[in-house]
């Protein structure tokens, strides 16, 4: 198993699951994202030399070809993940997200026995969804029409790339599907909503559930862009790992297909609702400041996951209430461990 971006949040959770099953795993990561070395140290402490690591970048085509050689399955997570970073530096965003994915596809195509590929795309390929008529409640936006509230956004939704990030991830999404069509590569795309869980070190540009919890635990102010009624379907990483494995195991049937993956209508939260939940967990409300809406922000996005469920039998199991509490406890334990380690170092 080759996992690009494997030291990141999703990659580390998937690697741990595969290694615990006795599978051979190689992580391919340039270790540029803050927190990933902690994930890598955790994996090495748990699994030792059974984990193979290649510190390299997907923009290095030769290093990627070397890593792909001999792999039977590839999970492609390596990416530039922030809309704001793409607006500040569109060229780097393009090189990582689109050029890096094309390098991987070419490496796979060059193999005598090409490995199967699962690529994680994003709901940002559908744009701002400005035409979806919304109404407001005290805590959230919701679609005006009942059928959309009950089902979410499906794969039939036209693509509408917003921001350089949306363009680079959307372009990569389409290249993966076309390589399946044009060259027969066994590849599928999962267009993900908001994933959260342990080993996530989120910031305000990506990983907002973890970011809100981290700021609250640090007793620092949380910045809310817009009015806080934005709604997302959130998916615990344990459920995502099951979806990734289901995608690989059903690959002959799923080749060349894209699916929306998230918690679906039964697993949604608005920003305001998450803030209230954090207040319940901590016994006091978190500090909040407000700022204007950002470019490309979707006021409402909930995945219609029925197509993937029908194809694989997968469905999310971890509720937002349980999952957010688990992440809160994990992050609090991490903070305690860091304080303990720092105190021990000072004593020494």
Structure tokens at 301: 């996005």
Q: What is the DSSP string of 244-262?
A: HHHHHHTHHHHTT-EEEES
**27 touches 40 (CB < 8 A):** yes
Chain position carrying tokens 């016994």: 283
* Closest residue by Cα to residue 331 from 221, 237, 209: 209
Which strand (E) or helix (H) includes residue 210?
helix 208-217
**Beta-carbon neighbour count of residue 184 at 10 Å?**
12
- Tell me the pairing of strands 141-143 and 134-136: antiparallel
**Beta-carbon neighbour count of residue 111 at 10 Å?**
14
145 an active-site residue?
no
Burial class (CB in 10 A: 0-12, 13-18, 19+), 29: buried
CA dihedral 55, 57, 63, 67 (to 10 degrees): 70
Burial class (CB in 10 A: 0-12, 13-18, 19+), 339: exposed
Structure tokens at 34: 């803050």
Q: Which residue in 126, 165, 179, 196 is the catalytic one?
A: 165
Which amino acids are annotated catalytic? Answer: 165
């Amino acid at each position: 198993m080759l996992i690009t971006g494997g030291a990141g949040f999703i990659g580390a959770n998937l690697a741990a699951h595969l290694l615990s099953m006795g599978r051979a795993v190689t992580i391919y990561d340039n270790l540029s994202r803050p927190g990933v070395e902690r994930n890598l140290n955790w994996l090495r402490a748990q699994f030792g030399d059974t984990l193979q690591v290649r510190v390299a970048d997907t923009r290095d085509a030769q290093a990627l070809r070397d890593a792909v050689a001999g792999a039977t399955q590839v999970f492609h997570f390596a990416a530039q993940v922030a809309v704001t970073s793409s607006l500040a530096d569109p060229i780097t965003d393009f090189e990582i997200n689109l050029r890096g994915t094309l390098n991987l596809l070419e490496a796979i195509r060059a193999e005598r026995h090409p490995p199967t590929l699962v690529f994680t795309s994003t709901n940002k390929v559908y744009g701002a969804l400005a035409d979806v008529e919304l109404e407001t409640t005290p805590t959230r936006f919701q679609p005006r029409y009942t059928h959309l509230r009950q089902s979410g956004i499906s794969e039939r939704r036209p693509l509408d790339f917003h921001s350089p990030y949306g363009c680079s991830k959307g372009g990569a999404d389409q290249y993966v599907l076309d390589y399946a069509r044009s060259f027969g590569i066994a590849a599928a795309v999962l267009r993900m909503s908001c994933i959260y869980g342990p080993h996530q070190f989120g910031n305000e540009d990506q990983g907002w559930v973890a970011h809100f919890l981290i700021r609250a635990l640090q007793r620092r102010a949380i910045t809310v862009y817009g009015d806080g009624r934005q709604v997302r379907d959130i998916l615990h990483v344990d459920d995502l790992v099951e979806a990734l494995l289901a995608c690989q195991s059903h690959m002959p049937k799923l080749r060349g297909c894209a699916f929306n993956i998230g918690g679906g209508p039964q697993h949604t939260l608005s920003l305001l609702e998450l803030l209230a939940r954090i207040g319940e967990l901590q016994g006091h409300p978190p500090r909040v400041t407000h700022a204007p809406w950002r470019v490309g922000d979707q006021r409402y996005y909930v995945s219609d996951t029925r197509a993937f469920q029908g194809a694989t039998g997968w469905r999310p199991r971890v509720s937002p209430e349980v999952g957010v509490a688990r992440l809160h406890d994990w992050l609090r334990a991490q903070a305690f461990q860091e304080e303990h380690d720092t105190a021990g170092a000072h004593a020494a």
